[in-house]
């Protein structure tokens, strides 16, 4: 497996984990780290033996944001010409489910990275926020859009305009995270979720993720039509036949991911 400088990639059966690893900078998302996360995730996404990917940081910080020191000297022209942060869109296009396991700070780009993921599991120490406004900028990796869709306008405006940080409990009440667990069991919980998903039929999982994501991009009527046609298409899968046969035979299914 490729060796990286800012992340650690591990495999466990049909799952993989990408661990952000810039501890001295609280996993601040500099360009090198971004390139590595995107490269690792797209490589794993192309590997049909990977059914789910966990993205995590350290106990103290998932990621404390984009790297402010790297950005400080940049001009408008630099940002525009390099289309700064655009590579993160390639992570959002990954078809394999992404599970964010968040402990400690998930601020700015860190919160945005967690929101690119499909399932967000937080430790009870997690702190979420979009403090860009305190630096004289605004979110740049989708925060103004994904946070608003996740928790609604009132709360998104509150966080983005004041830059305040919220606890894991408040994030769960707001609908930003799906579960809050004790810090000590965060990775075990995320890994259990990843293994559970990875045991499902891979094409059915891709289709389910695509259908849910379509709800952010379409009207209800269009979204329901997309879901119905995709549901019909699952009847072409060997795994659909196996899943329903196993149910009637009262045994666990043996999916072949076809």
Interacting residue ranges for ligand HXC, rule: CB under 6 A: 25-26, 28, 64-69, 71, 105, 107-109, 131-132, 135, 137, 139-140
The residues, any chain, with a CB within 8 Å of residue 163's CB and separated by 6 or more, are: 129, 130, 131, 132, 133, 134
Q: Which one, 66 or 202, has the nearer CB to ligand HXC?
A: 66
Q: Please give the Cα distance from 258 to 36 (Å, whole number).
A: 30
Nearest distance, CB of residue 203 and ligand HXC, angstroms: 35
Residue from 112, 126, 129, 142 carrying the catalytic annotation: 112
Matching residue, tokens 């967000």: 120
Dihedral over Cα of 204, 42, 212, 168: its sign: positive
Q: How far is the CB of 122 from ligand HXC (least distance, A)?
A: 16
Residue 66 is a catalytic residue: yes
Q: How far is the CB of 23 from ligand HXC (least distance, A)?
A: 9
Extract the tokens encoding 158.
Answer: 């509150």
Residue 132: active-site member: yes
Taking the least distance from each CB to ligand HXC, the nearer of 71 and 120 is 71
- Nearest alpha carbon to residue 61 among 143, 146, 126, 136: 126
CB 156 within 8 A of CB 147: yes
Q: Is residue 217 among the annotated active site residues?
A: no
Q: In the complex with ligand HXC, which residue's Cβ is closer, 145 or 234? A: 145
Q: How far is the CB of 71 from ligand HXC (least distance, A)?
A: 6
Q: What is the set of active-site residues?
A: 66, 109, 112, 132
């Amino acid at each position: 497996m490729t060796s990286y400088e800012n992340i650690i990639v591990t495999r466990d059966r049909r799952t993989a984990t990408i661990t952000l690893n810039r501890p001295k900078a609280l996993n601040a998302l500099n360009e090198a780290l971004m390139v590595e996360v995107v490269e690792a995730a797209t490589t794993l996404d192309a590997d049909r033996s990977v059914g789910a990917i966990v993205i995590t940081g350290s106990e103290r910080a998932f990621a404390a944001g984009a790297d402010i020191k790297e950005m400080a000297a940049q001009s408008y022209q630099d940002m525009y010409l390099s289309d700064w942060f655009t590579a993160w869109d390639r992570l959002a296009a990954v078809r394999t489910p992404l599970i964010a396991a968040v402990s400690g700070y998930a601020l700015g780009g860190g919160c945005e990275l967690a929101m690119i993921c499909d399932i967000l599991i937080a430790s009870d120490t997690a702190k979420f926020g979009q403090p860009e406004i305190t630096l004289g900028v605004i979110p740049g990796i989708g925060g103004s859009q994904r946070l608003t869709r996740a928790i609604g306008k009132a709360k998104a405006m509150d966080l983005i305009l004041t830059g305040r940080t919220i606890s894991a409990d408040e994030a769960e009440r707001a609908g930003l995270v799906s579960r809050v667990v004790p810090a000590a069991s965060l990775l075990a919980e995320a890994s259990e979720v990843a293994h559970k998903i990875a045991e499902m039929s891979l094409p059915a999982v891709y289709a389910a993720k695509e259908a849910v994501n379509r709800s952010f991009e379409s009207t209800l009527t269009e979204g329901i039509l997309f879901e119905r046609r995709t549901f019909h298409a699952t009847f072409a899968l060997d795994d659909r036949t196996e899943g329903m046969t196993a149910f009637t035979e009262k045994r666990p299914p043996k999916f072949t991911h076809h």
